[in-house]
Amino acid sequence: MDWFGRCISDADAFLKEHWRKAPTVFHPPGAPVDVLPLEEVWDILGGGLLRVPYIRLLGPDGQIPEERYCPPRMVSGEPLHSYADATAVRELLRTEQATLLLRYVDQWHPGVRSLTSSIAERTGRLTEAFFFHTQSGVQSPPHRDDGDALVIQIDGRKHWKVYGAPTDPQWVPGKKVDAPGPVLLDTIVKPGDVLYIPHGFAHHAEAADDAASSHLTVSMREAAAPHLRATLQSLLTDGCSLPGRPVGDDALIDTARRLLEHMRARLADTTPQQVIDHARPHAHANRLW
């Protein structure tokens, strides 16, 4: 299935006009809102096998302690922890306006995995998915993400504001942005809409009206300097067979010489784009959510 085409009707035009340039909202006729409907989320939660770290509850001050919604259970006389209790989750959503976050949905949901795999193949980037169920009136602070995002609105409506790209190359993903600059996009998305947020563009949102909002964020990660360093080391040392523990100074010097010769030869044939292309599929994030 062409999942990318279901999110964006004219993918070629998108890649030419919007990719990495500007936020925008698409209204595709076949948006994949059926890949993970809210009713299925409640069914999965009620099944009792959803556990931390794949589920988190977020409050105004950050993550809600898992002990508040993951009571211990006994299996064959052994206590098990970190499994979410549906009743406790719903109570925290109701009484504390908690946000339900399902993390790395592509790792445990076949339909979402198909979606992210298709988009990863099209974009050449590590692609992951996160599901958010946000209560009315809950607003996230402006922040930047370490990847391009396709936000698929599944249920309810959400008010988004998207700002510009960072000017400081040392910017930190997920950190609150106090001065995000002028608003580039101020819009309310409804079920079936797909919002595109370019890599690093600051944004925040809140559920519109008096109802909760649900959306699936497909994040296409971008490589950073640590990924490039690790990838370059791997590329330069690949195929170099060396003795594990050389005996004596002469043998150690010879081993170092062989390593340098191998790396210099590999470096001469390695381009910046090759380093980037090898790094992108491994650009895992270290974000809290």
In angstroms, what CA-CA distances link 92 with 69, 85, 97, 119, 279? Answer: 8, 11, 7, 34, 40
User: Which pLDDT value is given to residue 207?
Assistant: 85
Other CB atoms within 10 A of residue 210 CB: 7
Supply the CATH number for residue 73's domain.
2.60.120.650
With a cut of 60, say whether residue 288 has pLDDT above it: no
**Res. 140 pLDDT band, cuts 50 70 90:** confident
Residues 133 and 12 in one domain: yes
User: Which pLDDT value is given to residue 287?
Assistant: 55
User: Which pLDDT value is given to residue 201?
Assistant: 96
Residues 239 and 260 in one domain: yes
Residues 133 and 213 in one domain: yes
Residues 36 and 72 in one domain: yes
User: Which pLDDT value is given to residue 139?
Assistant: 81
The reply to whether 108 falls in a domain is yes
**Res. 286 pLDDT band, cuts 50 70 90:** low
End-to-end CA separation in angstroms for the chain: 29
Q: What is the mean pLDDT of residues 270-281?
A: 93
- For the chain, give the percent of residues with pLDDT over 70: 99
With a cut of 90, say whether residue 11 has pLDDT above it: no
Are 146 and 224 in contact by the 8 Å Cβ rule? The answer is yes
Residues 190 and 272 in one domain: no
Minimum mean pLDDT among 20-24, 50-54, 59-63, 100-104: which range? Answer: 59-63
In angstroms, what CA-CA distances link 12 with 5, 33, 123? Answer: 10, 22, 12
Residues 256 and 204 in one domain: no
Residues 248 and 141 in one domain: no
Of residues 187 and 285, more confidently modeled: 187
Q: What is the mean pLDDT of residues 115-123?
A: 93
The reply to whether 67 falls in a domain is yes
**What range defines the domain where residue 242 resides?**
225-282
With a cut of 80, say whether residue 80 has pLDDT above it: yes
- For the chain, give the percent of residues with pLDDT over 90: 80
Residues 199 and 92 in one domain: yes
Average pLDDT score over the chain: 93
Are 7 and 152 in contact by the 8 Å Cβ rule? The answer is yes
pTM for the predicted model, two decimal places: 0.91
User: Which pLDDT value is given to residue 147?
Assistant: 93
Of residues 171 and 56, more confidently modeled: 56
Residues 256 and 212 in one domain: no
Residues 234 and 209 in one domain: no
Residues whose CB is less than 8 angstroms from the CB of residue 217 and which lie 6 or more positions away in sequence, other chains included: 129, 130, 131, 132, 149, 150, 151, 152
User: Which pLDDT value is given to residue 160?
Assistant: 96
Q: What is the mean pLDDT of residues 266-274?
A: 94
The number of domains in the chain is: 2
Helix (H) or strand (E) holding 219: strand 213-221
Tokens 């950190």 correspond to 175
Residues 58 and 141 in one domain: yes
User: Which pLDDT value is given to residue 141?
Assistant: 86
Residues 34 and 159 in one domain: yes
